[in-house]
Structure 1
Amino acid sequence: MAMQRIPLKYCILLFGILFASCEKGLEDINVNPNETEVINPEFLLSSVLINTAYGYQKEAYFDKPASAGRYITMVRNEGNDKFDWGPQSWDDYYSWLSANREMMDLAVKLNTPQYVAVGKILESFTFGYTTDLFGDIPYSEALLLKKQTLTHPKYDPQQSVYTALLQTLKDANNDLSTLTAKVDAKADVMYAGDPLKWRKFANSLRLRMLLRISKNYTPAFTEMQEILNDKVKYPIFEGNADNAEIVYQGAVSANSWPGSPQGSSVDEFDKRKPSKEIVDALLQRNDPRLQVWVAPVDSLNGWKTDPNAYVGVPNAIPAPYDYNGGKTHISRLSKLFSSSSAPMLKASMLTYAEVCFILAESVQAGKVTVAGKTAESLYYDGILANMKFYGVDKTATDAHYFDQPLVKYNGTLEQLIGQKWIAGFLKGAEAWFDSRRTGFPKFVLGPMSSTSVLPKRYIYPTRERDTNEDQYQKALTVFGADKQTTLMWYLK
């Protein structure tokens, strides 16, 4: 497999151009590829950051993670829901990584180390996501096509990848704590050049990754505790303002929410319905987020199975478009998700709410301590943070949401992960990753599912067998069979 490097002087990714034009004005964009081959790292940062966040978010709504996390049911083209996935491409992930590495290399050449530090965080995010999807992946040799003409990179064991990424994030935090120069505020469309927020992202991402591998990585909780013991040296997310997420401009398709008619099409929006599992979970808890995320059915007359005003569609059933009497008796996603842009629509990579649940789980298991906090308080912090994001925290409190038996903290992992799942609605692949790691939520596989268990991973791209056969075969001797059910290192 050849990891292709993007010819940046010809095709800087479109999203960055579009976003930058909205943020800075056309008069501020003075890069003419016909006159110069020099591209400033700040321009590349905008491009890389937007494409990474937008791409990750699009998969969380549009692709397999949405089905595996039981947020979306496809009522047309139901292959995702049936888990008959077959080989998956990783070209997008390595494209983001290649552009990011180009930015870092240029920053080294121009002696702007602040862009290298930020690039380390984005590289760790994307490599982490890629290994979470596939298992063992090309890592140490993956981006060496240009420098060393290396076209057949080896696969690194997931344990080695994770160990390297954790160190990279730690280095990035340390670098940003001492550098005086900042990244350009206008180019940094997420944090406006604030190095403290980037450090919080790096350390919070470390917490996510450490919990994920804690079953088979002995130092996991020791390293988590090191972070938690020194918030000056290792700052972490402290509120929604720290969330690693980017707004959608909504000016054109490329910078619009992917579920909107402008971002895709009306047809694509109508193919995706809220799943029965998420809708039922919200109904059972009288959760005010239901009205924010889900639209009521068009008609309460003539239903076949479910008389509720809000009806989700089960995954992997015959003729899902006819469920409960057809489209007038099943819910769509709310108008929020048909918008091109909105304050509550963001390309989200990591949130404060998720960090609260990560810490709640770790404290509940007796593995770490958090000053001034308990597992119970962290659990409630996570719920409230997500509700505040959607503007329903006061509604929930007034309705005594937290006093309900299903919501009131009971110290079980099932309850905690269940609330984390709800709070993660359409915000990434975390629900799928948590379910395969913990067994919760206990998702129900539909009768049309091609498998009896939730997929554990993606199958490697077909092109690997065509262009990187030797390294692919060597990898399988270590990793195991190239199947959806094969367990990656941290799940064994």
Structure 2
Amino acid sequence: MKFNKIFAIAALAITMVFSSCNFENLDVDPNRATGSPANLILNGVLNNMWENAWTLEQRYNQYWCINYNYYGTNEYWSGPASTDYTRLKNVIKMEEEALKAGAPAVNPYSALGKFFRAYHFVNMTQKLGDLPLSEALQGLDIQAPKYNTQKEIYVQVLNWLDEANNDLAALIAKGGQKAEGDWFYNGDLSKWQKLVNSYKLRVLVSLSKKETDADLKLKTRFAEVLGNPTKFPIFTGNSDNLVFIPSGSIPNFYYRKNPNNYGFDALRENTSKLYIDLLKEFQDPRLFLVAEPAEAKVKAGVSPTSFDAFEGASTGENLDDMSTKAQKGEYSLISRKRYYVTYTGEPVTQVGYQEMCFNIAEGLNRGWATGVAEDWYKKGIQASMDFYGLKAGANNVDFQKSGAKLGEFNTYTINVDFAAYLAQAKVKYVGNNADGLAQILKQKYLAMAQNSGMEAYYNWRRTGIPAFLTGVGIGNQGKIPLRFKYPNAEYVTNKANVEAAVARQSFTNDDLFGKMWIIQ
């Protein structure tokens, strides 16, 4: 009897405990966060977005060469590209957390999220071609998403950019709106709105081969941006640029060339022939800031302040030959004064005013809107000169002393006359024709050195200007690839859809030299 009473009491207690329990919470760790504030996620999104200088991409752009194969080669890629889908998942999470915290449907994080979507999908499609978009990022709901065509991707990208502009305008009009966690523009939505529209101009110009496509409406979109600066504000100077500012106190954010790697890299890296020859062709004072005179030429009596003292190496040259010539001092090294003496280096522009000026000049050259292409062409050149700190009149330049320790320089003076520079036959804008377009594209190439990711390569792929150099040194039988292959994982997890996309685009065996829609 006593046992039965104890059992009954225990049973009642268990019943009461279980009736009061919520089993849904049993797997929740009270010591572990179940979410993150949108501003912290934004900080991470931006950390995954910034780009550095002196990367493989800048070798693909043919701004610099490596002359010692222990540290690398000048070959282009031969395999797949990585994708940005994980980064886009973080963008989606950022938007979700903002709503969870009580933000309205249109908020700073949702507006920036549309820009990030556009930015990352352009980054991916420029490398690969068709991609999953409409069925992508659905988690377990759709594990094998179908591929959208590249045209469909760009239609969506342009819509996202328009929506981002409208949302940012509405938030700015309310006042007091800020994107906390933003270390690019310190949360200033007006800066982001300028970026959205300036980036949109890049996207429109990148589609120049499709200017008659009725769905894209390139000319209409381009003209409305230029014709309505109130609705579509754009960059007005270099202070608006989207830039990564290297940190001298955080090793992961050092400028890529700095005193730590001077002993490894300084003599094993030199300037490229394409880049140096263009600067020499235009008698361009930027040459004296980005490169050093070839030691062999100076020893032969050529003045260090003569354009003839500089010599770049062809990206396509046999690497052994380049190494031998570099050791003999026949090639110009990158400027050790400019690029090695500090950990902060210089700002790395991702989307910049100078590039935007040349994009506008190109659109006007092509007749997409009313305006004076020459004015924007000149603005782009001046903005680039400003970036390098060049001023009219006397400018001091420092070249590392041969065989000396870092920081021991010879100082020379060069005179800069901007009016004379622009008046040169090869620089003076010749009009809205093919020759004028070539001038714009060459100056844009010079302005984007060590900046803007792979934009210099994409411009070459689209226009053939400036003519990139080829040869055994670039690999791939001396041919520059036109695209990357799809990630290997796609052939494991999404085989049917990726193979259908490859077949639709006529990429034989997912080849590197297939011409994607944007360049057809």
Structure 2 portions without partners, runs of 5+: 1-29, 301-305, 394-415
Is residue 2:483 matched to residue 1:457?
A: yes
Which residue of structure 2 aligns with residue 48 of structure 1?
45
Map of 1:22 onto structure 2: none
Residue among 138, 142, 166 paired with 2:158: 166
**Larger deviation, residues 204-213 vs 36-45:** 36-45
Q: Which residue of 2 aligns with 1:417?
A: 441
* Structure 1 residue identity aligned to 2:157: L
Aligned length, in residue pairs: 443
Q: Give me the whole-angstrom Cα distance separating, in 2, the residues matched to 1:337 and 1:325.
A: 19
Match of 2:340 in 1: 338
Q: What is the CA distance between 1:327 and its match in structure 2?
A: 5.7
Tell me the equivalent position of 1:95.
86
Cα distance change of structure 1 residues 474 and 401 upon mapping to structure 2, 3 Å threshold: same
Distance (whole Å) between structure 2 residues aligned to residue 243 and residue 311 of structure 1: 31
* In 2: Cα distance, 1:301 partner to 1:202 partner: 47
Q: Report the CA distance shift for 1:143/1:389 in structure 2 as closer, same or farther (over 3 A).
A: same
AA at the equivalent of 1:195 = L
1:67 to partner: Cα distance: 2.8
Alignment check: 8 A CA contact 2:67 2:326 kept: no
Inter-partner Cα distance in structure 1 for 2:418 and 2:229: 34
Secondary structure of the residue that 2:417 maps to in structure 1? helix
1:395-440 Cα offsets, whole Å, 9 max, x none, are 5435721122221112322111111100111112111111111111
1:385-404 matches, within 5 Å, as 385-395=383-393, 396-397=416-417, 400-404=420-424
2: CA distance, partners of 1:354 / 1:325: 32
Is 1:230 the counterpart of 2:258? The answer is no
CA positional deviation for 1:463: 2.5
Change (3 A) 1:340 1:38: farther
For residues 398 and 456 of structure 1, the distance between their equivalents in structure 2, rounded to whole angstroms, comes to: 37
Correspondence for 1:315: 315
2:514 is aligned to 486
Deviation at 1:150, TM superposition (A): 3.5
Deviation by residue 1:198-226 (Cα, 9 ceiling, x = unmatched): 11111111111111113223411111111
Query: 1:290 offset after TM fit, Å?
Result: 1.3
For the residues of structure 2 that align with 1:88 and 1:203, how far apart are their CA atoms? 31
Output the CA distance in 1 between the equivalents of 2:44 and 2:346.
Answer: 19
Q: Are 1:239 and 2:237 counterparts?
A: yes
Q: Return the alpha-carbon distance in structure 2 between the equivalents of residues 291 and 175 of structure 1.
A: 45
Match of residue 432 from structure 1: 457
Of all paired residues, the percent bearing the same amino acid is: 30
| 2:288 aligned with 1:291 | yes
For 1:296 and 1:354, locate their aligned partners in 2 and report how far apart those are by CA, in whole Å: 28
Cα shift at 1:308: 4.4
Q: For residue 476 of structure 1, report the CA deviation from its aligned partner.
A: 1.2
SS at 2:49 equivalent:
helix
- Alpha-carbon shift at residue 379 of structure 1 (Å): 0.6
Unaligned runs of 5+ in 1: 1-32
Number of the residue aligned with 1:444: 469
Q: Do the aligned partners of residues 128 and 269 (structure 1) sit closer, same or farther apart at CA in structure 2, a change above 3 Å counting?
A: farther
- Match for residue 356 of structure 2? 355
Aligned to 1:81: 74
2:201 corresponds to 1:207:
yes
Q: TM-score, normalised by structure 1?
A: 0.83
Deviation readout 1:221-276 (Å, 9 max, x if unpaired): 111111111111111111111111121112233111223355x7753565442101
Give CA-to-partner distance per residue, 1:439-466, whole Å, 9 cap, x none.
1111221244434543211122223223
**Structure 1 contact 51–96 (Cα < 8 Å) conserved:** yes
Instruction: Quote the residue 2:63 is aligned against.
Output: 71
- Greater shift, 277-286 or 422-431, is seen at 277-286
Structure 2 counterpart SS, 1:46: helix
Q: Residues of 2 paired with 1:275 and 1:404: CA distance?
A: 24
Distance 2:31 2:328 in 1: 52
Residue 102 and residue 437 in structure 1: after superposition, are their counterparts in 2 closer, same or farther (change >3 A)?
same
Instruction: Indicate the SS of the match to 1:273.
Output: strand
CA 1:269–1:253: 2 relative to 1, 3 Å: farther
Output the CA distance in 2 between the equivalents of 1:89 and 1:340.
Answer: 32
One-letter amino acid of the counterpart of residue 425, structure 2: P
Shift of 1:178: 0.9
For the structure 1 residues 149 and 323, does the alpha-carbon distance in structure 2 shift closer, same or farther, using more than 3 Å as the test? farther
Distance change in 2, residues 1:97/1:323 (3 Å): farther
In the alignment, the residues of structure 2 paired with residue 265 and residue 302 of structure 1 have an alpha-carbon distance, to the nearest angstrom, of 23
1:476 is aligned to 2:502 = yes
Instruction: Encode CA deviations 1:94-152: one digit per residue, 9 max, x unaligned.
Output: 3332222221221232243211111221221121111111111222333222xx45333
List aligned pairs for 1:245-256, cutoff 5 A: 245-256=243-254
Q: For residue 377 of structure 1, give the secondary structure of its aligned residue in structure 2.
A: helix
CA contact (8 A) 2:246 2:347 kept: yes
1:120-139 correspondence to structure 2 within 5 Å: 120-139=114-133
Listed one character per residue, the Cα deviations across residues 161-194 of structure 1 (whole Å, up to 9, x for unaligned) are 1111111011011001112352345x22111121
8 Å contact kept, 1:293–1:334: yes
Contact 1:211 1:221 (8 Å CA) reproduced:
no
Task: Find the aligned partners of 2:249 and 2:518 in 1 and give their Cα distance.
Answer: 42
Q: Distance in 1 between matches of 2:367 and 2:440?
A: 15
Aligned partners of 1:208 and 1:358 also within 8 Å: yes
For residues 233 and 156 of structure 1, the distance between their equivalents in structure 2, rounded to whole angstroms, comes to: 30
